[in-house]
Amino acid sequence: MKSLPNQPLPSPPATKPGAPTLACLFEAEEGGLLRFAIGLVRRRTVAEELVQETFLRLHQVWDEVENPRAWLYRSLRNLALNHLRDYREETEFDENEETGAAAEDAPQGEALGRMEAIGMVRLFLAEMPDEDRNLIRLKYHEELKYHEISARTGISIGNVGYKLHHLLKGLADALRRAGVEGSQG
C-alpha cells in the first residue's frame, strides 16, 4: 500500500481491555480487505486507497466500534460501492489489472460474482461472534474433523455438528438475502 500523506495522525485511541489494537487489526485484516476491495473495484491501486481510507475512518471512530472487523468490511464495501457509482467509466473490467487467477479462468461476470460472493462471506463471518467464527475456521481452514474440533473447544461432537450446520445454514440464508446465489443459480 502507498504511504500516508505527510500529515500527523492523532495519537492512537485508547484500546478496550482485551480488544486488539488498531495496528494488530491492520496487520491481521489488511490482506483480506485488499482482496475484497480488488474483487469489488477490479483495480489494485483503487483498492489499496479504499482500504487505507477505511482504516483512517476506523481510527476516527475507534472508541465507538464494538466489532472492528465487521465494521471494516462493511465500511470498505460501502466505500467501494460509492467509488463504483462515482467513477463508472473507470470500472470497466481491465484485463491488464492484477485481479487474481480466478478472474483469468472464468468469464468476466462469473469472476466478478465469485469475488463479490467471497467478500460477502468475509463480511458475514466478520459479524459472527468469535466462538462461531472459530468453529468455521477450525472446520474449513484447518480442515479438522468433528472429534478434533470437539477436543480443541470442549464442545461435544454432536454439538459441533449441530452448531456448524446452523451456522452454515444461517450464512447461506444471509447470502441469499444479500442476492448471492450458489453456483447452480
Q: What is the pLDDT of residues 44-62, one digit of tens each?
A: 899 999 999 999 999 999 8
Q: What is the pLDDT of residue 124?
A: 80
Instruction: In whole angstroms, give the CA distance from residue 2 to residue 110.
Output: 30
User: Taking CA 57 as the corner, what is the angle to CA 53 and CA 62, rounded to the nearest 5 degrees?
Assistant: 140
User: pTM for this one?
Assistant: 0.51
Kindly report, residue by residue over 92-134, the tens digit of the pLDDT: 444 344 444 444 444 555 666 676 777 778 778 877 888 998 9
Q: Does domain 129-185 have CATH number 2.30.30?
A: no
C-alpha cell, 136: 468455521
* Residue ranges of domains in the chain: 19-127, 129-185
Instruction: In whole angstroms, give the CA distance from residue 46 to residue 82.
Output: 12
Residue with cell 468469535: 130
C-alpha cell, 164: 456448524
